[in-house]
Structure 1
Amino acid sequence: MTCSSTIRLLAIIEAVTVTGPARNLIEFCKCARAHAMAEAPLIETSIVTYCRSGWPEEGRARATTQAASPNPFISAVRAAGIEVIVIPERCRFDVRVIEQLRRVVERHSPDIVQTHNLKSHFLLRLSGLGRRYPWTVFHHGYTATDVKMHLYNQLDYWSLRKAARVITVSQAFVNQMKRRGVSPERIVVVHNSIHPDWSRVSGEEKRAVRTSLGIADDESMILTVGRLSREKGHADLVVALAYLRACHPQLKAKLVIVGDGPEKKRIEKVAAAHHVSEQIVFAGQVPRVAGHYAAADLFALPSHTEGSPNVLLEAMATGLPITATAVGGVPEIVTHNENALLVTPGDPQSMGEAMAQLIKNRPRALELAANARAIVFDQFSPDARLRALVKTYQQLREDRREMTEAALSEVAAK
């Protein structure tokens, strides 16, 4: 039975794999369930997602808790014991989904509807549900890989302007949204989080990873993790590695790139042009990346744009020395010369020099890493994130109650 302190949350997200926002959502549900106490509200979360393999032959779509061929995200949600409702679709922006979306929301009658990614924002605004239920939008930033995506990103502001709250991951994104007409009073900054147990890796697994990657005992392993897209700056990191080898030939190092994406061939060409192909390992997508962090000697984040990067938090939790570009929310998480070395984006020479410093001066590198690890579990823990989100949800519910009472009073006065 639902008690008065319970907050019913319906989260709508497009996801196939368990990365970024999808992983954060699952972790939030687990954390909320683990911390449900008498003095704190219980968060009952159901997740709505889409699946293109579920459209029936007779042409009538029907939302269901059972998907014929569940993808990794759906499987992970079910494994976590979270209710998931799957809406069949025929294409990415299938407006026929809206009818099913309305039925799902009305059936669950949530206290709050929450959307992740621009597709869900767009469909919810078109449905009109945002006018009937408190609507929270999660804004994770944008990836403008081509003209089409750039147009999609601009369209997203049309949705954001009508949400009751926009939860974003960095102050840098707040400034962007304000310039696009999103009311600053509706924007809340909540950084991503990392679980304290995330980095637990055995010594045996660590050695196995280094062996599988071909990292010799006398070589430093430089790790970077992320989608291989242009804004992630991998080509800059390759040039930085070439600088490191040319200006510090006594330092032996290999760069391990975890992730995949459309920029891989270009990165390979840059590596060949700078004669460092033999010093780079493309590891591809890795199911359990914690072992790669544990095996590394330092972490590099060369991005041109970022929000609240999970990979940075993962490196901090592992206790890795870090060099990163000072973009987006990165300077909100780490501070130059206190717990990381920050460099200007698009400056491979500076990043190459920072990597050299972390390899040469190991005591200083470990000091920075220890400082970073100390703050990540204090300021960026799942508990801290849960408290911030619950505060936002409680305020939304209170706002709705006050609006309802005011409307009833107005009717009674007539």
Structure 2
Amino acid sequence: MTPRVLHVITGLGHGGAERQLLALLRRLPVPCEVAVLTGPYTLADPIESLGIPVHRLAMRGNRDLTALPALVRLIRQGRFDIVHTHLYRAGVFGRLAARLAGVRGVVATEHSLGEGHLEGRATGPAVRLLYRAGERLGQVTVAVSPTVAERLDDWGVPPARVVTIPNGIDADAFRFDPLLRARTRRRWGLDEHDFVVGTVGRLVPTKRTEVLIAALEHTAAARLVVVGDGPRRRELERLAARSPAASRVLFAGGTDDVPGALAALDVFAAPSVQETFGLSVLEALASGLPVLYTACPALQDLPADHAAGAHRVPSGPDAYGEAIGRLARRPPGRLAPPAAVDRYSIDAVADRMTRLYRAIAAPSTAAAPRASSPRPTR
């Protein structure tokens, strides 16, 4: 059976979950459509260019219940066999709408569950209660790493309802291109000889971007480029403006050209103390960059020899400043992508997700299949 799948996602901005959905849609061999609850709709055009319809529900806020009947109608009219939700708000509305529309095949990918926060925001008892209530309306929750599976267990989600399928990466899309490097640097106003450290991601408190701004005070060897947008951008810009290294900090904003941004860098830095997967770290490794990181389950769940070029650093300005200075003294040039990049091939991830869809949609399926892999030994 080839199931029809409706992906329901909160928004389609430049976030990791949104970009992961786009990458997955490029590979899934089953008919898909996308329902997006609210803006931004940045990635809607790339999705529609694949021939995949995107339904914009224009939800005005968390309490705008008009989106629910619209989503129920969409599910019924589309005769979808599977509803696959992404991110918290979409998980709540999408699971409920699927149940009201009579669809029992409901999958939810948990992209952003951290310790004490969800999607960069602090969580409380009410959020946990609503999360567990919504989870019971679904059939399977996909954890993007064993770390997330453990957190779901802590939140009271039964392990038998959790499947671990990691995020995937299209390594070819991030292969280093010197022409792309030169073009991006010109756009950013950087000289070809500048030594540039950068980070890519949503500007939320958990990313700890302020560590990198402060780290520049401990090394005169580098410039910093912050690629991304989010609720902390203005605060971080004010912080950078007060820094002695203010002239060496550039906020490049959000981009749909992450390969170009990475090509322009000499070092990638990720000082977050907790992550659900660490997709941006893998993308940087695929681009041949040395990487400084503090937390990355995608690497921590693998043997150490799979991540040559990645250096784990305590999340403090001194440690990052010292590590940046050390890398600035190495010979220039790109690194060969390590084994970890191949380990998380988007093709393999799409294959596993397709098998999960077909197992759930099969008439004889009595329970959610167990597709988890054991935690790799270190």
Distance, in Å, in 2 between the alignment partners of 1:334 and 1:347 is 25
Shift of 1:153: 5.9
262-271 vs 215-224, which moves further: 262-271
Matching of residue 401 in structure 1 with residue 364 in structure 2: yes
Distance, in Å, in 2 between the alignment partners of 1:134 and 1:276 is 53
Alignment of 1:137-148 (within 5 A): 137-141=108-112, 142-145=118-121
- Aligned CA distance change for structure 1 residues 89 and 294 (closer, same or farther; 3 Å): closer
Give the counterpart letter for 2:279 in structure 1: N
Shift of 1:140: 0.9
After superposition, what is the alpha-carbon deviation per residue over 1:371-396, rounded to whole angstroms, capped at 9, x for unaligned?
Answer: 52x431x2111111112212322332
Correspondence for 1:340: 310
Q: What do you get for the CA RMSD once the two structures are aligned?
A: 2.9
Give the counterpart letter for 2:36 in structure 1: T
- Aligned CA distance change for structure 1 residues 343 and 155 (closer, same or farther; 3 Å): farther
Match of 1:370 among 336, 342, 351: 336
Distance, in Å, in 1 between the alignment partners of 2:101 and 2:76 is 12
Correspondence for 1:248: none
Q: 8 Å contact 2:294–2:313 — kept in the other structure?
A: yes
State the structure with bigger RCO (CA 8 A, min sep 6), 1 or 2.
2
Correspondence for 2:231: 262
Match of 1:236 among 211, 219, 231: 211
- Aligned CA distance change for structure 1 residues 125 and 284 (closer, same or farther; 3 Å): closer
Shift of 1:45: 1.2
Q: 8 Å contact 2:81–2:103 — kept in the other structure?
A: no
Shift of 1:218: 4.0
Q: 8 Å contact 2:285–2:310 — kept in the other structure?
A: no
Correspondence for 2:88: 118
Correspondence for 2:34: 47
Q: 8 Å contact 2:277–2:296 — kept in the other structure?
A: no
Shift of 1:320: 0.6
331-340 vs 194-203, which moves further: 331-340
Secondary structure, counterpart of 1:72 in structure 2: coil
Distance, in Å, in 2 between the alignment partners of 1:215 and 1:334 is 37
Match of 1:380 among 319, 340, 344: 344
Q: 8 Å contact 1:172–1:329 — kept in the other structure?
A: no
- Aligned CA distance change for structure 1 residues 205 and 329 (closer, same or farther; 3 Å): closer
Which structure shows the higher helix fraction? Answer: 1
Matching of residue 299 in structure 1 with residue 268 in structure 2: yes
Distance, in Å, in 2 between the alignment partners of 1:143 and 1:197 is 28
Shift of 1:329: 4.3
Shift of 1:229: 1.4
Correspondence for 1:98: 68
Correspondence for 1:164: 139
Distance, in Å, in 2 between the alignment partners of 1:263 and 1:90 is 22
Correspondence for 2:104: 133
Secondary structure, counterpart of 1:362 in structure 2: coil
220-229 vs 70-79, which moves further: 70-79
Distance, in Å, in 2 between the alignment partners of 1:334 and 1:319 is 19
Q: 8 Å contact 1:140–1:168 — kept in the other structure?
A: yes
Identity of aligned residues (%): 27
Distance, in Å, in 1 between the alignment partners of 2:235 and 2:356 is 43
- Aligned CA distance change for structure 1 residues 237 and 334 (closer, same or farther; 3 Å): farther
Structure 1's unaligned 5+ residue stretches are 34-42, 53-69, 246-251, 405-414
- Aligned CA distance change for structure 1 residues 323 and 401 (closer, same or farther; 3 Å): same
- Aligned CA distance change for structure 1 residues 131 and 339 (closer, same or farther; 3 Å): farther
Give the counterpart letter for 1:32 in structure 2: L
Match of 2:196 among 221, 239, 245: 221
Correspondence for 2:23: 27
Q: 8 Å contact 1:343–1:350 — kept in the other structure?
A: yes
Distance, in Å, in 2 between the alignment partners of 1:154 and 1:92 is 16
Shift of 1:217: 4.3
Distance, in Å, in 1 between the alignment partners of 2:64 and 2:160 is 32
Shift of 1:9: 1.4
- Aligned CA distance change for structure 1 residues 46 and 195 (closer, same or farther; 3 Å): same
Structure 2's unaligned 5+ residue stretches are 113-117, 368-378
Give the counterpart letter for 1:7 in structure 2: P
Shift of 1:178: 0.4
- Aligned CA distance change for structure 1 residues 370 and 234 (closer, same or farther; 3 Å): same
TM-score by length of 2: 0.84
Give the counterpart letter for 1:180 in structure 2: W
- Aligned CA distance change for structure 1 residues 225 and 150 (closer, same or farther; 3 Å): farther
Shift of 1:168: 1.7
Secondary structure, counterpart of 1:7 in structure 2: coil
